[in-house]
Structure 1
Amino acid sequence: MSTTVSPETKLSRTLNKIQYCSLNGYSLKREPQQGMNNFYNTLTAFNKIAANRGAGTPGIDNKTIDGINLERLKRYHREYVNNGYNPKPVKRIFIPKDNKKTRPLGIPTIKDRLMQKCLEQLLTPYFKNIFS
């Protein structure tokens, strides 16, 4: 009898391993890469980005979260897994401050935000224990 483990369960196990390593002073080995290769991590990251207020702000490629469907999300994930992902330059805008000056703000593309969020989700359980 063979049982198939769901991507959600695999990701959960990977996150638990990462947290265990952090709590016990072990270094990370394969766990971050295993998590990045898990499509459920990408899907979770997408949902978090979509819920963000700035999700409709386009990066340098002028694409917003509205143009991302499941097929495109799968394509982004495959691109990363096959080592084809390269980040784009960040769009720079200047926003006004109270003292009539401006401050720079960098806006990454949706794909770059997605990859950043995927990595953040994996590294947070490790570093949260170290820095708390």
Structure 2
Amino acid sequence: MQNADTVLGVLRERGRKGLPCDELYRQMFNPQLYLLAYGRIYSNKGAMTAGATKETADGMSMNVIQRVIDAMRHERYRFSPARRVHIPKKYGKLRPLGLPTWSDKLVGEVVRLLLEA
């Protein structure tokens, strides 16, 4: 597979020139993009907060990435429902907050990387 920076650079350049970006879904199978996404969201405070499952950033491995890629390749990946928590606001009201699972955060970051490029 190609390096993540190379893939994103090519997509950026095609976007600047107004060329179509075909087969973008195929890039979702690149493990390098998942490692780049992991590096970006790992330092976030919410990375260690469990979502609907007990899965967090600490349980991350190449096996998890390969499992997600395999599910994407066979079009079996489904986003899990987010865990809903209510956080108190300054003036006593509650604000709803959705906590997705770690793999959902990771896939979302990869999609964001591809679409922003």
Kindly provide the amino acid, as one letter, of the partner of residue 74 in structure 2.
N
Could you say if the C-alpha distance between residues 108 and 21 of structure 1 is closer, same or farther in structure 2, counting changes exceeding 3 Å? same
Q: Distance in 1 between matches of 2:40 and 2:73?
A: 21
Asked if the contact 1:59/1:108 (under 8 Å) is kept, the reply is yes
Q: 1:9-20 residue pairs with structure 2 within 5 A?
A: 11-20=4-13
RMSD: 1.7
- TM-score (normalizing by structure 1): 0.78
Specify the structure having the higher radius of gyration (Cα). Answer: 1
Counterpart of 1:46?
Answer: 38
Q: CA deviation at 1:74?
A: 1.8
Asked if the contact 1:45/1:117 (under 8 Å) is kept, the reply is yes
For 1:27-50, what per-residue CA distance to the aligned partner results, in whole angstroms no more than 9, with x for missing partners?
4322x2232121111111122222
2:29 aligned residue (26, 37, 60): 37
- TM-score (normalizing by structure 2): 0.87
Counterpart of 1:7?
Answer: 2
Kindly provide the amino acid, as one letter, of the partner of residue 2 in structure 2.
P
Counterpart of 1:130?
Answer: none
| Identity fraction in percent | 28
SS for the counterpart of 1:55 is helix
SS for the counterpart of 2:113 is helix
More displaced stretch, 18-27 vs 113-122: 18-27
Unaligned runs of 5+ in 2: none
